[in-house]
Amino acid sequence: MDDLEKAILIMFDESGSIDHELKKRAENYCNEVKENKSSICRLCIEKLCFSNLVQVQFWCLQTLHDMIKSCYLSMAPEEIYMIRSSVFSIVYLEPVDDNNLRRVLEGPAFIKNKLAQVLATFIYFEYPLIWSSVFVDFLPHLSKGNLVIDMFCRVLNVLDDDLISMDYPRTAEELAVATRVKDAIRQQCVSQMVRAWYDILSMYRNNDEEICTSVLDSMRRYISWIDIGLIVNDAFIPLLFDLVLAGSLSDSLRGAAVRCLLAVVSKRMEVHSKLSLLQNLQISRLFRLVAEDGDTELVSDISALLTGYAVEALDCFKRINSEDAKGVSMELLNEVLPSVFYVMKNFELDATFNVIQFLSGYVATLKSFDPLREKQLFHVGQILEVILVLIRYEPSYRANLDVMDKIGKEEEDRMVEFRKDLFVLLRTVGRVAPDVAHLFIRNSIANAISSSSDSNVEEVEGALSLLFALGESLSNEAMRTGSGLLSELVLMLLSTKFPCHSNRLVALVYLETVTRYVKFIQDNTQYIPMVLTAFLDERGIHHPNINVSRRASYLFMRVVKLLKVKLVPFIETILQSLQDTVAQCTIMNSTTEVLSGSEDGSHVFEAIGLLIGMEDVLPEKQCDYLSSLLRPLCQQVETLLINAKLLTYEETNAKICIIQQIIMAINSLSKGFSERLVTKSRPAIGLMFKQTLDVLLQVLVVFPKVEPLRSKVISFIHRMVDTLGASVFPFLPKALEQLLAEIEPREMIGFLVLLNQLICKFSTSVCDIVEEIFPAVADRIFSVIPRHGLPSVPGAVTEEIRELQELQRTLYTFLHVITTHDLSSVFLTPKSKAYLDPVMQLLLYSSCNHKDILVRKACVQIFTRLIKDWCAQPYEEKVPGFRTFMIEAFGINCCLYSVLDRSFELRDANTFVLFGEIVLAQKVMYEKFGNEFLVHFVSKGFSAPHCPPDLAEQYSQRLQGGDIKALKSFYQSLVENLRLLQNGSLVFR
């Protein structure tokens, strides 16, 4: 063993016993040997001839492959000939230098595949222009037996994988070479190749199934582009069917023959020829195989063939115009579909998605039939059976799905995704054959009700899921009137208590389905008691599984929103049924399971609020209902706040958790009451909410630094602003002062949003409040936000920076809201004047430089509005220094320099809107500041980019004119011209 062989063995060693450094040295040594281009190829051939080490053989073949691929065009002709002849001799078992090379062809598959790859690379470069006889020379050697036949198949397979197959992306060069190779094979030797395939299959079918399988696999790859007549004839097709139908043969061989038939069926051709091909195949010979207990892999192959056949028949039906031919296509479909359905219902297949796509296409085609024929109606029923079978969960997952552990969650997620296409198919069936779909679902539910087998849970869940999904295909009119069997289905749904209703999945899909069909109940109010019972008994809100009961609360709230007034007669009954649930929602402790935000239990209160908040409820009843809910909740809060500061950490957390739940409950309850009702028609209701607000504001006093509680209180104040209107004013100073007292920067965002709501709703009415609070707000914000913005480099953006960026964005909105609601005087109060300069500097910097174009637009709009507010009369100066700041700082930097910067992309829609605001600002500045602005802008601003005098003069004329659109258009062309003049050499900031 020489040094190279030792190095190769060390390099490929996977035992873990070789030192990493030694392996690296071995690899470097092998690479050095490769670098000797003059001798490496001959060395590799010699090693192939003499070495019995597979690692050495592989390294040599890999090196040869790399050399040919990368250096072929620069290699000497004699060297190419030496490599080619040596490799080809190995491939077809001709000795090189009297050495028997059977050991290479008898070696592992990876050696033979690499050898085939080397030969295929020669074909890439040389066939047919240089080495025209490669296939003709190869074919006679197939008589040497299975080793050579196997290599022939491997060469064909590698050629397909690396060059011919369109399953992989190809370069233009590869496509050209592939065309050249295929054309040459078709012209020169394809018939001999096909004859060789046939002879090998006939000769070896009973004594070497493995080699026959290899031949069929290679043949399948080539059927798509060779003359189909070479395969579809009286010799080859019967042979393929014989192989498939021979039960004594292995399933792998039979499956390979099936895949060849699928390649035949899928061959692209003219539609009449395809239809004739499908007819003559007599595919029905294979139908019995799917009913036999065979290997699933074979059934999968046969299923793919039958589906492929059906796809082609359907395609013929769509493409062909002759009614007779259409009839033939439909007969072929009718013949094959039962077997397709059988396989789908009885076997798990990898190609399920493809079958579903085909069935969707088939059902869509049935739209052209009116009415559907008997056989088509039968097939539609079979498709529904297939859907029902496929959407069922495996019983083995039942316990996991019920408790929703990790396995259950993964299985549910998988099934949700898997069902999507099936439900699309179901909805298509529902539109094409609604009566069939309704009848099938009714029977499915009836069967599920009557079944007592172990699969009852999965049966019920599947049947209900069908009814739920069907709802998406129904029009509002069909849903409302209960057309067809729909009214019967809804009645069956509402009146049924399934034995397995305790199962989480069954309970959830039942409630979702009832909710989906509530539109029918709107016009059929006699069913309302049944709907209420379904939600209020153990099937819904009182279900033992908390996930189900919480979801039921949310869905019940949606049902109440839809039925609203029609539920007034049932309010007493509903409230009585929910007494225990209402109590339970506000006695949660810190160990309570946390559920998703949309199902936190407060939806019960929202539903109750929607019910009792209607004007259709008698005033005295309404007061009683609300009082009976609010009083105990408020008392509970007051009790929890007593001596709260003396509690242990654990006790405090438990109280905080309960208070949070109570605030959320009251918040949700208030959503049902309109401002008009509580402030005008029934002020007694408003008084109750004011008293509640007074109680809840105490939470901020007792727990000033508990962020979740502060957030919940802010949310409730938001609600009260909407509900109580202006009557909330007396509570605001105290509330805002308390919120601001212990506020953290990240909490400031929610506080500003609250102020924005107040300003947007009440405008100048809250002027005194905003004036009082603004200095403290500005002080807090400018203590954490620099006036020149925050870092935007990706690596510099920490979680803290992200919070500050969000605060800054909210601040811009706050300043914008102030100025656009006639409150700019807020900035000018004695206490606020100290913050005027930081505000102006931040707005200026952001209007010129902020990465967010919408922020820049808001800043420009703020300045424009301030000009109008503080400079109402020309040359008036309400704020000393403001006019000079606008002319010299804003006018030059934002209105000119920032738009000249090439980063200001005028083709971007948002940026173009910002550009319009900047032009408008110039117009307003000219109107308010006159020639003082114009002269400074032209003389100082235009001098830096060397604006030609004629363009400056045109700008002056357009600015003084009355057409803002003309000004905007001219200013855009001016900016583009100035950019060309300065040619990127001047960067404006």
Compute the C-alpha angle 92/94/98, nearest 5°.
Answer: 155
- Residues 581 and 526 both lie in one domain: no
Both tokens of residue 115?
Answer: 């050898």
In which region does residue 16 sit, left (phi positive, over 0), alpha (psi from -120 to 50) or beta (all else)? left
Which of 722, 742, 762 is the endpoint of a domain? Answer: 742
595 confidence band (pLDDT: 50, 70, 90): very low
List, for residues 760-782, the tens digit of each pLDDT value: 999 999 999 999 999 999 999 98
Q: What is the DSSP letter of 96?
A: B
Domain membership flag for residue 425:
yes
Domain membership flag for residue 140:
no
Residues 813-834: what's their mean pLDDT? 95
The CA distances from residue 920 to 845, 903, 926, 959, in Å, are 19, 21, 10, 10
List, for residues 181-221, the tens digit of each pLDDT value: 999 999 999 999 999 999 999 999 999 999 999 999 999 99
* Range with lowest mean pLDDT among 538-552, 588-602, 974-988: 588-602
- Residues 639 and 665 both lie in one domain: yes
Both tokens of residue 796?
Answer: 């510099």
Q: What is the pLDDT of residue 98?
A: 45
Amino acid at residue number 289: L
Say if residue 950's pLDDT is above 60.
yes
- Residues 466 and 582 both lie in one domain: no
What pTM was computed for the model?
0.81
Q: What is the pLDDT of residue 294?
A: 58
Residues 6 or more apart in contact with residue 228 via CB below 8 angstroms? 264, 267, 269, 277
- Residues 546 and 582 both lie in one domain: no
Residue with tokens 């919408």: 854
List, for residues 272-293, the tens digit of each pLDDT value: 999 999 999 999 999 988 877 5
User: Domain range holding 507?
Assistant: 390-553
- Residues 509 and 592 both lie in one domain: no
List, for residues 516-570, the tens digit of each pLDDT value: 999 999 989 999 999 999 999 999 999 999 999 999 999 999 999 999 999 999 9
Q: What is the pLDDT of residue 290?
A: 84
Residues 899-919: what's their mean pLDDT? 93
H or E segment and range at residue 608: helix 603-612
Domain membership flag for residue 574:
yes
- Residues 938 and 887 both lie in one domain: yes
374 confidence band (pLDDT: 50, 70, 90): very high
Domain membership flag for residue 345:
no
Domain membership flag for residue 814:
no
Burial zone of 680 (CB within 10 Å; 0-12 exposed, 13-18 middle, 19+ buried): exposed
Q: What are phi and psi of 96, to 5 degrees?
A: -105, 125
- Residues 607 and 735 both lie in one domain: yes
What is the Cα–Cα distance from 573 to 578, expressed in whole angstroms? 9
Residues 613-631: what's their mean pLDDT? 95
- Residues 882 and 966 both lie in one domain: yes
CA dihedral 231, 233, 239, 243 (to 10 degrees): 60
Q: What is the pLDDT of residue 237?
A: 96
Residues 89-100: what's their mean pLDDT? 69
H or E segment and range at residue 210: helix 209-223
Q: Look at the chain and report how many structural domains it folds into.
A: 3
- Residues 580 and 729 both lie in one domain: yes
List, for residues 660-703, the tens digit of each pLDDT value: 999 999 999 999 999 999 999 999 999 999 999 999 999 999 99
Residues 616-644: what's their mean pLDDT? 93
Q: What is the pLDDT of residue 583?
A: 87
List, for residues 250-270, the tens digit of each pLDDT value: 999 999 999 999 999 999 999
Both tokens of residue 887?
Answer: 């002319």
Which of 680, 711, 742 is the endpoint of a domain? Answer: 742
Q: What is the pLDDT of residue 984?
A: 47
Mark out the alpha helices in 230-285 (DSSP H runs). 236-245, 251-266, 271-281
- Residues 543 and 576 both lie in one domain: no
Domain membership flag for residue 308:
no
Both tokens of residue 305?
Answer: 């063939």
Which of 521, 553, 585 is the endpoint of a domain? Answer: 553
966 confidence band (pLDDT: 50, 70, 90): very high
What is the Cα–Cα distance from 848 to 903, expressed in whole angstroms? 11
Q: What is the pLDDT of residue 384?
A: 96
What is the Cα–Cα distance from 854 to 913, expressed in whole angstroms? 9
Residue with tokens 């809910």: 629
What is the Cα–Cα distance from 485 to 481, expressed in whole angstroms? 11
Domain membership flag for residue 237:
no
Q: What is the pLDDT of residue 545?
A: 93
Q: What is the pLDDT of residue 177?
A: 96
- Residues 874 and 728 both lie in one domain: no
Helix (H, G, I), strand (E, B) or coil at 99: strand
List, for residues 33-64, the tens digit of each pLDDT value: 999 888 899 999 999 888 889 999 999 999 99
Both tokens of residue 136?
Answer: 């003709």
Q: What is the CA radius of gyration of the chain?
A: 40
Given a contact cutoff of 8 angstroms between Cβ atoms, the answer to whether 971 and 919 are in contact is: yes
Domain membership flag for residue 219:
no
Both tokens of residue 851?
Answer: 């990465």
Given a contact cutoff of 8 angstroms between Cβ atoms, the answer to whether 427 and 395 are in contact is: no
What is the Cα–Cα distance from 334 to 337, expressed in whole angstroms? 6
Residues 343-352: what's their mean pLDDT? 80
Average pLDDT, the chain: 90
Q: What is the CATH number of the domain that holds 643?
A: 1.25.40
988 confidence band (pLDDT: 50, 70, 90): very low
List, for residues 465-483, the tens digit of each pLDDT value: 999 999 988 888 888 888 8
- Residues 507 and 622 both lie in one domain: no
* Range with lowest mean pLDDT among 234-248, 413-427, 931-945: 931-945
Both tokens of residue 890?
Answer: 């804003």
987 confidence band (pLDDT: 50, 70, 90): very low
